[in-house]
A and B are shown apart, each in its own frame.
Chain A
């Protein structure tokens, strides 16, 4: 997915539920439709939470990965 241009990165490392989601909502509001937000988190619960959040809000979770307890989510703002 190297063709994706990240427009904003949110560092949500060391934050517990629900802060990664709350900060993601703020960050997504600050970018334009069609742009990409990258979120870096360490909360293991964020894996299911970002799934649920993107399904619920309609923003597209285009990429997610984990590397040594650090989770990366790439979200496309759709509306």
Chain B
């Protein structure tokens, strides 16, 4: 059993609903496939590590031309439309029995997925360490690259 584990390295740069799911689905699944997994959360993606934030992420209809909502793009920019699109998206996902983001994060943490918060983004967005969940570590580009240099799969999301 000294066989070297496969490794997955992900950069998570988004924190709307469609951007937040792929890193957590792939990370938790890879961990279940006995991979070593690390996710580097940068720019807006860092919001995924904020305490009590994950289930409050939204989806905006503006610019999402493939949203299954029969409304013109300009209407999508009106106040309240993001909230409505988020509500609809969540109800479709619930209907399809998709796990909540928090559940996927909990399973990832439990499976030993390494969560790296981007220090530079923390400075830009004025996030303090205490704003982020306890399970993450704070690092920079070199921290991620050292981990990714040994990875079998590397993804930018």
Using CB atoms and an 8 Å cutoff, list the residues of chain A in contact with chain B.
14-19, 21-22, 24-25, 52-53, 56-57, 79
Contacts and interface: CB of A to CB of B under 8 A. Distances in A.
Interface in B104-133: 104, 107, 111
B1 interface: yes
A53 B97 contact: no
Contact of A22 (B29, B96, B98): B29
B28 interface: yes
A18 B32 contact: yes
Across the A-B interface, the 4 shortest Cβ-Cβ residue pairs: A25-B32, A18-B29, A56-B33, A16-B98
Nearest to B107: A22
Nearest to B31: A25
Contact of A18 (B6, B25, B34): B25
Interface residues of B, number: 16
Interface centre among A22, A52, A56 (most CB of B within 10 A): A22
Contacts of A52: 33
A75 to B, nearest CB: 13
Contact of A24 (B32, B34, B111): B32
B28 A18 contact: yes
A22 B32 contact: yes
B87 interface: no
